[in-house]
Amino acid sequence: MLFVRLGAILLLAVFNRCPMSLLSTLAISCPEHASLESEFIEARDRMRSLVRLRSLSPAEERQLAVGLAMAIARLKEHVAEHGCERQG
């Protein structure tokens, strides 16, 4: 019974972590757009997590901010070129 309970808890943790990514990519018809949006979400979440965990050095913070800005820029560039955006 304990094994089942741990499995259920793990499943819930994974379930609670994934819906945003899964739901956002389901509504996007362009695979490249979905990939770029996923890249942006990962960069944003990585920055949020590290900021919450510890104090970042200015160089680390700048590196994360540049990575996030580049992900946003790639997504915006893709939308401008292809006109595809999330549906709903």
Q: Where are the domains of the chain?
A: 2-82
Phi, then psi, of 55 in degrees rounded to 5: -80, 125
Q: How confident is the model at residue 30 (pLDDT cuts 50, 70, 90)?
A: confident
| pLDDT for 86 | 62
Mean pLDDT along residues 24-49: 83
Helices (H), 18-57: 19-26, 31-53
Cα–Cα dist 7/13, whole Å? 10
pTM of the model as a whole:
0.61
Q: What is the pLDDT of residues 49-79, one digit of tens each?
A: 999 999 989 999 999 999 999 999 999 999 9
